[in-house]
Structure 1
């Protein structure tokens, strides 16, 4: 059976950020920590060994695969900073056009540094992602 590697855990977010080699990336990570915390209202939690996530949702696909994931998150990686937002929402693409210098992967948005992007658009992307995922995967309690 497939085992999800990226699970929420009790590792220290601050210790993880402190382990970032680049002083500039570390500084941006602290700024992102503040922006994501303030925007979502959720405390930062480590997901796996390198993703700082905020909030969570439980997904279940038609294939039967299910699991938990953060609503939004980021990771200050060596090459670029990865930002994790919901995919599949058309508003995301509209916001990304105004975001600033970035590249996109399948699920991630990559930036070199926080100064390259519009922080207000970042907040809008965070909010849009949280709302989209909470509507798509409502709590089943």
Structure 2
């Protein structure tokens, strides 16, 4: 798979439809974030990061993946308070399991897509965590 569209097309239903809708939501919400494939997943908004420790590399601002039991959305951006952006939306996505930079849910209908769009916009504004 070399494009997000090929990734989505290769999924079984109902994941194909759900990740297709998620891909469309990301593209509509933050069209300036160029789609790519990174780490075997569709990614959006490639950037270079460099941490104070000296560690550096390339990653994407937003990515998504179909996992066995859930859909994952990864957002590698910090909130204005310095925490990870997805964590600051935990109360607005009650059916999602939220880690530092990951939002997991069983079905797209389990989450408010307007809140996801708000997260994507905030991530695009903030830029990637450790962006160089």
- Deviation for aligned residue 1:100: 3.7
2:108 maps to which residue?
114
Matched, 1:14 2:8: no
TM-score, reference length from structure 2: 0.83
* Structure 2 gap ranges (5+): none
Matched, 1:38 2:28: yes
* Structure 1 gap ranges (5+): 1-9
Does the C-alpha gap of structure 1 residues 58 and 105 become closer, same or farther in structure 2, counting only changes over 3 Å? same
TM-score, reference length from structure 1: 0.78
2:47 maps to which residue?
57
Segments ≥4 residues shifted beyond 6 Å: none
Matched, 1:67 2:57: yes
Aligned length: 127
Q: Within 2, Cα distance between the matches of 1:135 and 1:26?
A: 29
- Deviation for aligned residue 1:94: 3.8
Q: Within 1, Cα distance between the matches of 2:34 and 2:16?
A: 19
Q: Within 2, Cα distance between the matches of 1:107 and 1:136?
A: 13
Mark the structure with the bigger radius of gyration. 1
